[in-house]
Amino acid sequence: MQRKGKAAKNAAAVLANVNSLIKDKALSLIADSLESNEEEILKANEIDLKHLEQSEGYSKAFHDRLMLTPERIKGMADGLREIVDLADPVGEVTKMWRRPNGLQIGQVRVPLGVVAIVYEARPNVTVDAAGLALKSGNAVVLRGSSEAINSNKALVKVIRTSLEEAALPADAAVLIESTERSVVQELMKANDYIDVLIPRGGPSLIRAVIENSTVPVIQTGAGNCHTYVDCQADLKMAEAIAVNAKVQRPGVCNAMETLLVHEDIAAAFLPNVITALVKEGVEVRGCTETQKYHTAVKPASEEDWATEYLDLVLAVKVVKNLEEAIKHINKFGTKHSEAIVTDNYHTAIYFVDNIDAAAVYVNASTRFTDGAEFGLGAELGISTQKIHARGPMGLEALTTQKYIVYGEGQIRQ
């Protein structure tokens, strides 16, 4: 860990002063190389999938997160090309002002340095993280889960070869190949080499990193997301949004986990939407009131309201009014993505103003909380904290600012 950390730190010092044209060339080379090495990458991924299938207790959603396909590899490559088209934030002067004594003081964006990512499954994170880090002038230390180790080795091999071809240090992208948990513990204490640590995965991983890391942490990921259907909602629209938010890709952090429905429209809305959800393979767990409207609804426990299923399971609760919905969301939500479906402008604004989350939606699916969907290119994660970065973390979130001061011989009296 120390050897790789030091190598990444040295690479970061080089990257901090590399111009955009060279970084963009490297990103394009990586994108092309991903596609030309598709067969090798898929073979490595197949090994990981076979190992997973021989284990016990894995979910279909986890299998989906781990699986690579030609379409997904193309998607990763296209994501890098989108990053090429984005403006480089490094060197941007965000403010400049003159003091009465003649000093010119400004703020300029600079890279964070070495960014470490600890993540589970999802080999696409390997490429997204490396691409965003490179464009923003950072080196990246990658520590994926054991389930994806062969996939990650194949992807990082492509990335490092392309970096060298672009005359950049290969150690701008470092993979920690050891799958021992002790390595993560060491990574969390590597303050001499790591500037920021970002955990991406389940609640237990995120909690462990937050509680044990001495390296600064950006909290991401946990997504107990809600959709509230108001009494003045377009019910056809609400059904489409609810089904999409749950089933379009249930194993990701912006998928809906709880559906809240105003009691005045429960009878008109719940039978149809539950039928549609069940048809898509969703297990519905509901409150006592919800159970009245469909025989497929299983009883929900208090634990269900706080659970991020990451699977085809949904909790449903009938609420008396908007205030009860907001209270429920702010109690059980993880400050990720929350949505309301309503035709009432004032209700929508009240919801937006009173929900504490990184992204709040009016009449749209929570599945849009994503760097690419927000026009940020790829993302490094969805930050659910309030300091430094919040929401989808694109290029700007991987920079900080420093003051620059221009004088003409001024001294302080």
What pLDDT is stored for residue 65 in this prediction? 87
Tokens 């284990």 locate to 55
Residue 7, domain member (yes or no): yes
- Domain around 129: 2-220+380-406
What pLDDT is stored for residue 97 in this prediction? 98
Q: 229 pairs with which residues across the strands?
A: 261, 341
Q: Based on the domain organization, do 129 and 79 belong to the same domain?
A: yes
State residue 236 phi and psi, 5-degree precision: -65, -45
How much of the chain exceeds pLDDT 70, in percent? Answer: 100
Q: Based on the domain organization, do 197 and 268 belong to the same domain?
A: no
Q: Based on the domain organization, do 171 and 238 belong to the same domain?
A: no
Q: Based on the domain organization, do 165 and 20 belong to the same domain?
A: yes
Q: Which has the higher per-residue pLDDT, 152 or 121?
A: 152
Each residue's pLDDT tens digit, 304-363: 999 999 899 999 999 999 999 999 999 999 999 999 999 999 999 999 999 999 999 999
Q: Based on the domain organization, do 324 and 253 belong to the same domain?
A: yes
395 vs 90: CA distance, rounded Å? 9
Q: Based on the domain organization, do 160 and 12 belong to the same domain?
A: yes
pLDDT at 141 over 80: yes
Domain at 78, CATH number: 3.40.605.10
224 vs 308: CA distance, rounded Å? 5
Q: Based on the domain organization, do 210 and 239 belong to the same domain?
A: no
Each residue's pLDDT tens digit, 259-282: 999 999 999 999 999 999 999 999
Q: Based on the domain organization, do 41 and 177 belong to the same domain?
A: yes
Number of domains in the chain: 2
Mean pLDDT of 178-192: 92
Residue 362, domain member (yes or no): yes
Mean pLDDT over all residues of the chain?
Answer: 95
Q: Based on the domain organization, do 214 and 232 belong to the same domain?
A: no
Q: Based on the domain organization, do 267 and 211 belong to the same domain?
A: no
Q: Based on the domain organization, do 152 and 49 belong to the same domain?
A: yes
Residue 411, domain member (yes or no): no
Residue 375, domain member (yes or no): no
Mean pLDDT of 214-236: 93
Whole-prediction pTM:
0.85
What pLDDT is stored for residue 219 in this prediction? 84
Q: Residue 176: which pLDDT band, with cuts at 50, 70 and 90?
A: very high
Q: Based on the domain organization, do 44 and 173 belong to the same domain?
A: yes
What pLDDT is stored for residue 386 in this prediction? 86
